[in-house]
Amino acid sequence: MSGKINITDLNIVVLTEDSDISHFSCGNVELDTFLAKTAKIAQVEDTSRTHLAYLNGVLVGFFSLICDNIARKQIDIEYQKENYVHKVYPAVKVTRLAVHREYQGRGIGHALLYYALGTVYALQKYAACRFVIVDAKPDAIDFYKMFGFHSNTAAKNKHLLYFDYNEFRRRLDEKADVMA
Ligand SMILES: CC(C)(COP(=O)(O)OP(=O)(O)OC[C@H]1O[C@@H](n2cnc3c(N)ncnc32)[C@H](O)[C@@H]1OP(=O)(O)O)[C@@H](O)C(=O)NCCC(=O)NCCS
């Protein structure tokens, strides 16, 4: 299977009790087990919100989000040139993100991250969220960095990557000004 997949090719829906999740495998046992055994329970308990991505009816990926926060000391010193004045910032955490092993490398992971940021955009109207964060698996750190996530190797949790949503929105606004 080959060829890039666009975000508009995907049908992304929130997991429900009736969702068929039986044929998904990304190759990572912890992620596959979460989807198969825990995701529906967590959905009902309101401890995780999972979104499923379908391509022509096939479940090709999923991601889960929760509300969280990030301490200023987790943010890179160099990056703190932005002058973060608060000790803690509100965040949405991507707790899991996975693409079906047969569909990896075709842009779906990137599309899902983009979509996750879109859900944060919608949330911003009702509840503030400054950062999007992720506890990245070592193999996936570069995937998130390519997207614009930062890491702080001097921090306690070296796998916690962060993305300043405010900066992202400012960049989009500047782009819109230039194009106007
Ligand atoms: C990591 C994962 C989500 C990436 O999804 P994907 O659909 O394969 O990635 P994409 O095709 O959207 O890749 C987007 C870009 O990231 C790069 N990339 C993908 N996976 C990468 C990785 N593990 N490390 C570094 N770069 C990676 C791609 O080369 C691509 O670059 P390009 O735009 O220059 O071509 C997927 O491979 C996966 O599910 N892996 C197993 C589970 C996992 O590790 N999940 C992450 C949990 S933190």
User: What is the CATH classification number for the domain harbouring 31?
Assistant: 3.40.630.30
Pairing state between β 11-14 and 49-55: antiparallel
- Does residue 156 belong to any structural domain of this protein? yes
Q: Is 146 in the pocket of ligand 1 (CB under 6 A)?
A: yes
pLDDT reported for residue 26: 97
Q: Per the domain annotation, does 1 fall within a domain?
A: no
Closest CA to 111 of 147, 136, 161: 147
Run of H or E including 111: helix 108-123
User: 99 lies in which domain range?
Assistant: 7-179
For ligand 1, atom 21: residue with the closest CA: 143
In a domain, 2, yes or no: no
Give the model confidence (pLDDT) of 13-41 as tens digits. 999 999 999 889 999 999 999 999 999 99
Question: Does residue 144 fall inside a structural domain?
Answer: yes
Beta strand 58-71 with 49-55: parallel, antiparallel or unpaired?
Answer: antiparallel
What does pTM read for this prediction?
A: 0.93
Task: For residue range 65-81, list pLDDT tens digits in order.
Answer: 999 999 999 998 877 77
| Residue 128 in domain | yes
pLDDT-derived band at 180, boundaries 50, 70, 90: low
C-alpha of residue 84 to centroid of ligand 1, in Å:
30
Q: Ligand 1 pocket test: which of 94, 143, 145 has the largest number of ligand atoms within 8 Å of its C-beta?
A: 143
104 contacts: CB under 8 Å, gap ≥ 6 = 26
CA 104 to ligand 1 centroid distance, Å? 7
In a domain, 51, yes or no: yes
User: Using one digit for the tens of pLDDT, what is the confidence trace for 32-69?
Assistant: 999 999 999 999 999 999 999 999 999 999 999 999 99
| Contact status, residue 144 vs residue 161, Cβ threshold 8 Å | yes
Contact in structure between 112 and 61 (CB atoms under 8 Å): yes
Residues 24 and 34: beta-carbon distance below 8 Å: no
* Number of domains forming the structure of the chain: 1
pLDDT band at 130 (very low <50, low <70, confident <90, very high): very high
Mean pLDDT of the chain: 92
Answer whether residue 169 is part of any domain.
yes
* Residue 91 identity (one-letter amino acid): A
From the CA of 149, how far away is ligand 1's center (Å)?
A: 14
Minimal CA–CA distance to 25: which of 80, 50, 54, 62? 62
Nearest 5°: phi and psi at 15? -60, 135
**In angstroms, what is the span from residue 140 Cα to ligand 1's centroid?**
7
Residues sharing a CB contact under 8 Å with residue 171, sequence separation 6 or more, in sequence order: none
Answer whether residue 73 is part of any domain. Answer: yes
* pLDDT tens figures, 107-128: 999 999 999 999 998 899 999 9
